[in-house]
Amino acid sequence: MEDSNHRLGQKKVVAVVGGGLVGALNACYFAKRGFEVEVFETREDIRNAKVVKGRSINLALSHRGRQALKHVGMEDKIVSKGIPMNARMIHSLSGKQSPIPYGKKGQYILSVDRANLNKELLTEAERYPNTKLNFDHKLQDWSAETGLMTFARSDGSKTQVQADLIVGCDGAFSAVRKQFMRRSRFNYSQTYIPHGYMELTIPPKDGEFAMKPNFLHIWPRNTFMMIALPNLDKTFTCTLFMPFEDFETITTGNEVIEFFQKYFPDSIPLIGVDALKRDYFRLPAQAMVSVKCSPYHIGDKCVLMGDAAHAVVPFYGQGMNAGFEDCIVFDEIMNQFNEDLSAVLPEYTRVRVPDDHAIADLAMYNYIEMRAHVNSKWFIFRKHVDNLLHFLMPKTIIPLYTMVTFTRTRYHVAVERWHWQNKVINRGLLLGAVGAVFGGSYLLIKNPANINKLVVSSEKIWNKLVALKAPQSVGTLSQI
């Protein structure tokens, strides 16, 4: 092989800042290439910690994330500890539950435990002899000119470290990104949404899951929404999304119950009245931020990945998946340009920015859409329309969530395709409406006396539709 990643016979040093999900996975990618990898993480080693603080307890892992794990041989290990979710389960206000499959049999997403995933990835990174993990190292400052980084330790001491490449995987409030902010022609925007989130737990009932486990449970209530994902210990983690304003108006245990009685009555016995009264006040609601920026690199010295480059609101279940896909995309470009960092970094920005911005926009769009007019009826209706159109024109109409969740179609291409599909659908609807008006008028003019004919023929069509739907509907719909 070329000696491009060797300096005086020595391998280049890559500093991965942040040992979260994306940092730990990225360490594996760089280690696999033979770089000298050092990971720096603020927190203590979570593998020794008793309770892991942090955001959301479980996450939905889908195709993009799985492909990225596969590349470093971690897919099976993680998938085996995940719980497949083959469908959503929509909970209506009356307590009725309606399943809506994600697609064909093999098309499911996985509920994975964040802490376990992070631990497994750290352990995997450590298996490479050329990787070193440095915990209790908080990046304070670094120089884009020299690549010299300053870390603060919890005992008050400071250490300085030099690296050839700095990979910023330090999350939505990235310290690595701070140096980007000081530079000219760096674009940056961040938006806090008015909603916060709070996690609650549904314990097992008689030693079993209290609801059906292989579903993503959703309670869509316009401005309020709750989602529940299953865990291996037979609990569910519920995430309640609600405007901060509303979180603040609820100040007593009784008000909590009153609120749940009004919007999520079926969940009260599942969570438990006492637990609900207690857990609601355990932690304040957490904020959600969307961050977009560009470029993602500085020269051949530094690159941002994961939430550090693009924090997205969680309304597409894609934050981690997109961050994991960043690692594959970077890796593919490393192959393409023979690990020549001065070519790889600009190319990574060129290729990846449009896709990460697309998923950030999509997630924000879905947030706005859901809070504006998505109740359980509308959610079920929309998903059925999507599935029906796909069933009628499988090559032409592919639901957006399918492209996002079950393929590696570039995010920005998925969005373009979605716009194109909507145009086709609207044209079809328009044509159908025009056709119906003209056709109907024609029949009426030609045969004004015989209204029965029209009624009979429409009855026939209706009967055909019913016959088509009744015996096969379950089978055909679940095949989509």
Footprint on this chain of ligand FAD (rule: CB under 6 A): 17-23, 40-43, 55-56, 59-60, 138-139, 169-171, 175, 197, 239, 288, 306-308, 314, 317-321, 323
Q: Which of 68, 218, 238, 242 binds ligand EGU (CB under 6 A)?
A: 218
Strand partners, 217: 89, 228
CA–CA dist 291, 323 (Å, integer)? 13
Residue found under tokens 């010295």: 301
Contacts with ligand EGU, 245-284, as mask; x by CB under 6 A: ----------------------------------------
CA–CA dist 105, 435 (Å, integer)? 37
- Cβ closer to ligand EGU: 138 or 417? 417
Contacts with ligand EGU, 345-364, as mask; x by CB under 6 A: --------------------
The residue whose Cβ lies closest to ligand FAD is: 20
- DSSP annotation of 293 reads E
Alpha carbon 93 to chain centroid distance? Answer: 26
**Which partner, ligand FAD, ligand EGU, none, binds residue 370 by CB below 5 to 8 Å per kind?**
ligand EGU
Q: Which of 12, 64, 88, 292 binds ligand EGU (CB under 6 A)?
A: 88
Give least dist CB 31 to ligand EGU, A.
29
Q: Which of 40, 247, 260, 316 binds ligand EGU (CB under 6 A)?
A: 316
Alpha helices in 33-163, H assignment, sequence order: 63-71, 75-80, 114-127
Cα 232 to Cα 73, 74, 212: the distances in Å are 22, 19, 13
Helix axes 63-71, 21-32, angle to 10 degrees: 40
Q: Which of 22, 60, 240, 344 binds ligand EGU (CB under 6 A)?
A: 60
Give least dist CB 162 to ligand EGU, A.
38
**Which partner, ligand EGU, ligand FAD, none, binds residue 319 by CB below 5 to 8 Å per kind?**
ligand FAD
% helix / strand / coil in the chain, to the nearest 5?
A: 45, 25, 30
- Contact at 8 Å (CB) between 165 and 301? yes
The answer for residues whose C-beta is within 8 angstroms of residue 398's C-beta and 6 or more apart is: 390, 417, 421
The answer for 165, left when phi > 0, alpha when psi is -120 to 50, beta otherwise, is: beta
Tell whether residue 319 is a contact of ligand EGU (CB under 6 A). Answer: no
Tell whether residue 405 is a contact of ligand EGU (CB under 6 A). Answer: yes
Give least dist CB 183 to ligand EGU, A.
34
- Cβ closer to ligand FAD: 54 or 439? 54
Q: Which of 314, 325, 329, 341 binds ligand EGU (CB under 6 A)?
A: 314
CA–CA dist 218, 201 (Å, integer)? 14
- Contact at 8 Å (CB) between 151 and 139? yes
Give least dist CB 113 to ligand EGU, A.
11
- Cβ closer to ligand FAD: 65 or 103? 65
Neighbours of 37 (CB within 10 A): 28
* Residue numbers at the binding site for ligand EGU (CB under 6 A): 56, 59-60, 88, 109, 216, 218, 227, 229, 239, 314-317, 366, 370, 401, 404-405
